[in-house]
């Protein structure tokens, strides 16, 4: 009985804190900085200062995040037990949406990640066939990649990004979303703005030399 009672004493202050904390949308949470938005995804650059926490905020869509640097955080989801997380640099996790939580940074360094939120379907699975048909009717004309295992949207440090100048000829391109096997569709202007990429003459016609 003493152990149960002691556990209850720990949970009550946590529930009281949730009750007192205002809930905000992810776009109003100060640690989440919107870097890119289109009809398919929203991309946030997240930075939580050492020994601080985010506001209680909503994730209304499924998303995945890529950790930028090692980190130690506690994930406090409303109506659930807190979860202690030790994340490695480059670790990628997928999380189903429709919940509110607080992320507490327990480490002595900033907790940084890139969060990519999926906006399509929005949990309405009857929309998936129509969306698949749209992708068939809108084939991707150009695949933009960065050499090696680095995706420019989820880069762990600043580095120059260059894209072939013909990218402006297309309405939509497919790029790496930061984890193997996952691509996102994005307008070229949005990609250039999010990565601060420069244009260069990189491609060459088949059979040509230079």
Bridge-based pairing state of the strands 83-87 and 162-164: unpaired
Which pLDDT value is given to residue 9? Answer: 45
| Cα distance between residue 131 and residue 137, in whole Å | 10
Coil, strand or helix: which one is 147?
A: coil
Intervals of the chain under pLDDT 70: 1-21, 120-159, 177-183, 202-210
**For residue range 83-139, what is the model confidence (pLDDT) as tens digits?**
999 999 888 888 888 899 999 999 999 999 999 888 755 555 555 555 555 555 555
Distance CA 67, CA 179 (A): 11
Q: What is the DSSP letter of 140?
A: -
CATH 3.90.960.10 fits 138-200, yes or no: yes
Q: Could you give the CA distance from residue 67 to residue 188 in angstroms, rounded to a whole number?
A: 25
- Whether 22 contacts 57, CB under 8 Å: no
CA distance 73 to 31: 14
Distances (CA, A) of 167 to 139, 161, 162, 184, 208: 15, 13, 11, 15, 20
In the chain, list all ranges with CATH 2.60.120.10: 22-118
- Which residue spans of the chain are classified as CATH 3.90.960.10? 138-200
Beta-bridge partner residues of 53 = 104
Which fold would CATH assign to domain 22-118? Jelly Rolls (2.60.120)
Determine the Cα–Cα distance for residues 119 and 62; give it in Å rounded to an integer.
8
| pLDDT for 110 | 96
The H or E element spanning position 34 is strand 32-37
């Amino acid at each position: 009985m003493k152990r149960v009672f002691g556990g209850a004493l720990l949970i009550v202050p946590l529930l009281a804190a949730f009750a007192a904390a205002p809930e905000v949308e992810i776009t109003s949470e100060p640690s989440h900085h919107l870097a890119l938005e289109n009809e398919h995804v929203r991309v946030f650059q997240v930075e939580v200062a050492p020994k601080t926490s985010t506001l209680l905020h909503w994730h209304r869509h499924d998303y995945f995040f890529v950790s930028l640097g090692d980190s130690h955080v506690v994930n406090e989801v409303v109506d659930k037990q807190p979860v202690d997380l030790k994340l490695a640099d480059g670790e990628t996790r997928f999380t189903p949406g429709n919940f509110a939580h607080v992320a507490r940074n327990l480490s002595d360094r900033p907790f940084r990640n890139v969060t990519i939120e999926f906006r399509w379907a929005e949990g309405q699975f009857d929309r998936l066939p129509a969306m698949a048909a749209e992708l068939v009717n809108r084939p991707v004309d150009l695949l933009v990649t960065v050499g090696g295992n680095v995706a420019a949207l989820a880069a762990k440090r600043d580095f120059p990004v260059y894209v072939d100048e013909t990218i402006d000829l297309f309405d939509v391109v497919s790029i790496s979303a930061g984890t193997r096997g996952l691509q996102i569709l994005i307008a070229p202007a949005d990609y250039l703005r999010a990565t601060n990429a420069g244009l260069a003459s990189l491609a060459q016609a088949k059979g040509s030399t230079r």
